[in-house]
Structure formats: structure tokens, C-alpha cells
Amino acid sequence: MPSAAALDFDSTKPTSPFYNDNHREWRDTLRRWVAKEVAPFVDVWEAAGEIPLELYRKAAEVGLLGLGYPEQYGGTSAGIDRFHHIVTAEETAQVGAGGIFASLLVHAIGLPPVLALGSEEMKNRIAPPVLAGERHICLGITEPDAGSDVANIQTRAVREGDVYVVRGSKMFITGGLRADYVTAAVRTGDPGYGGISLLLIELDRPGVSRTRLEKMGWWASDTAALYFDDVRVPAANLIGAENQGFFGIMLNFNGERLGMAASATAYARTCLVEAARYARERRTFGKRLADHQVIRHKLAEMLRQVNATQAYLENCAWRVQQGETPVADLALLKVQATLTMEFCAREAMQVLGGAGYLRGNKVERIYREVRVNAIGGGSEEIMRDLAARQMQL
């Protein structure tokens, strides 16, 4: 339990057997970097609706962009495990501005299919500049009429000799406004899962256009709609085998859901810490807000839910690290984490009252970002249904 003297992000976390000195060193490094390069500029970047391109290079220099990626492409993989990524989620969440890191780290969903299924030529061409922060890659799955329903993807790529001609659109693409590449799901075959391929599309090709999307939250994330009007893409840009793209998409989703769960849990803890700090400072009816029983119970319940979710998160991360693919648990973990985030954001807002409703504070930003976490990467409803199917009821 956290002590009265130190009620902060670290002290509210239970002792865990999963972290070693290497994880703690990474936490210290990243915490210093975020404090210097990100925290002072959050409000400016939120208002601008984007992060500066220079931040990608700085993130590469500190080792953030390359964390967990092969050394041969400029990454750092030796000694890196799933818990380094949980540490990353925790340290980046504490500024309470998810859009900044959604854009900065969008390669974490755009690049893995290239490295897992792409040709050696493609890997060597794409990965090094992305991990160096010089080029940017996003993921294009969602369409106006196909989100979690991946089998209904309509964007079509027709083979004509040594090129694919692509026509269609992608919607809600994180980082899509300034990305150089998109790892896109396209239909190359019959309807359904079996007719989907993954195709790397350079976004400076003739026929590509994009539109900025304004959002409730994640203001600093350049989110876009992408349009493909007979875009000619080399057949060599096919990622994996034709009509076998659904497998790559599902592999990507499992990692994305684990990462989103880690972030949502960290945002929930940040809300707890902000609410507790305010409750200890604010005085009402002649005593501290924290001395009112109803407020104390709110904070205790927030702590209970956050730490229970943290335990589920770390168990799932450990299982994945052992080579398991616990699809149902990863789906339910994401639901658990986003519900916990939603609860803590609401309760923190209640504790802060009018102060929380004003723009420019962590709780207000996190409150606006609940829904994107609950929907993105697979909505709560889809996740529950996926878990039920895995249960073979």
C-alpha cells in the first residue's frame, strides 16, 4: 500500500517479480526523456493538432523507436522483453496526452507486419529509416464500412502485370496525415477473410489523397482518412503471400491489444494519482477533501481496480513472453483495462470537480480519450464476443 508521504505513480503499484534492473534503468532513462522533451510542450502540441517531426529523431536517439526491434535494422532487441514495453506505456502515459505517443509510436502497428512477413528487400528499405525517425509508417485496416469486421474490407487491389492498382479508402488512420507509408489491408481475392492481402503503399504515389479528421481526444495525433484512386503499387510491395493477409492482421491485433491494455491501465493509475494529489490539497467544509469518507472510498476503489488490472496485464504479458497466444485473455484484458480507465477517469473528474473540467490538465485529457481506447484495436463488444468464441461455448 502507498504511504502517506509518497502517494505517486510508483508507490501505488504493488511489488512485482517481473521487473529487473534493466527494466528499472529503462524506466529512469525514459522518465527523464519524457520530462525534458515532452511534458513541457503538451498543451502546445495539443493545440497544434500534431507533434513536431523533430520529436521522432529525438525518440530514436533515446532508444524509444527501436525498442524491441532487430539490431540489423537499427533497433535494440537484446535483453528486451514484454515488460520493457509495459514500462514504456507507463512512462508515456503519465503526461496524460495519448495522442502524442499514438502518433510517435504508430510504427509499432505499422511496421511489425513488414518485419514478420515482408521480403528482405522491403525490410531493409523500410525499417531502418522508420526506426531512425526519418520516415513514418502507419497501419491502414479500418474503412468507412469495415472496422472490427475485417472480413468486409472493400479497398481493392487488382493485379496488372508487375503492379497492383488500388482503389478504395481507409478511415481513422492514426499518423496517416504525415506518414510516408501505410501497411494496408486490401482485397485481392474473393469476399471474406481468404481474399485479403497486406500491401505496402508509399503515400506520395499519384492517386493518393488524405484528409485530416478532427476528434474528441488524441488532439496531437494526426489522424486521417486515406483515399486511393487507381494508385499503382509495385507487386513487390506485397507483404507476405497474396490472399493470406488476414493472418498477419490477427498477429498484429494481439500485440496491439496488449499494448493498449498497458496504456489504459497506466492512464487509470495517472487519474488515481492526480485525484489523490488534489484531494490532499483541496479543503472543503473545514477539512481536506481526502478526509471526507466518500472521497476516500472513491480513491480506494480506484486503487483496487487499477492494481487488479495490473496483475492481469502482467500475467498476460508473461504468458506471451513464454510463447503463448492467449487470444481470449488478451481480448478480455483490453476490456478490463479500458473499463478501469473509464471508471478512474470518471471518478477522478468527480474528485477534481470544476478544476478537472478545465482544459490543460491530465484528467480532462484522459477523460476525453477513454472512448478511443475502448473502441480502437477492437471494441469492447467485439472483444467479448471474440473471447466467447474462444471459450467454445
- Catalytically annotated residues: 256
Length of the chain: 393
Distances in Å between the Cα of 167 and the Cα atoms of 57, 186, 238 are 33, 9, 16
Task: Decide the pairing of beta strands 287-288 and 283-284.
Answer: antiparallel
Query: How many other C-beta atoms are found inside a 10 Å radius of the C-beta of residue 324?
Result: 12
Please give the backbone phi and psi of residue 63, each rounded to the nearest 5 degrees, phi first.
95, 5
Distances in Å between the Cα of 163 and the Cα atoms of 40, 202, 232, 233 are 46, 13, 6, 5
SS3 230: strand
Q: Give dist(CA 362, CA 154) in Å, integer.
A: 39
Please give the backbone phi and psi of residue 293, each rounded to the nearest 5 degrees, phi first.
-60, -40
Q: Give dist(CA 215, CA 212) in Å, integer.
A: 10
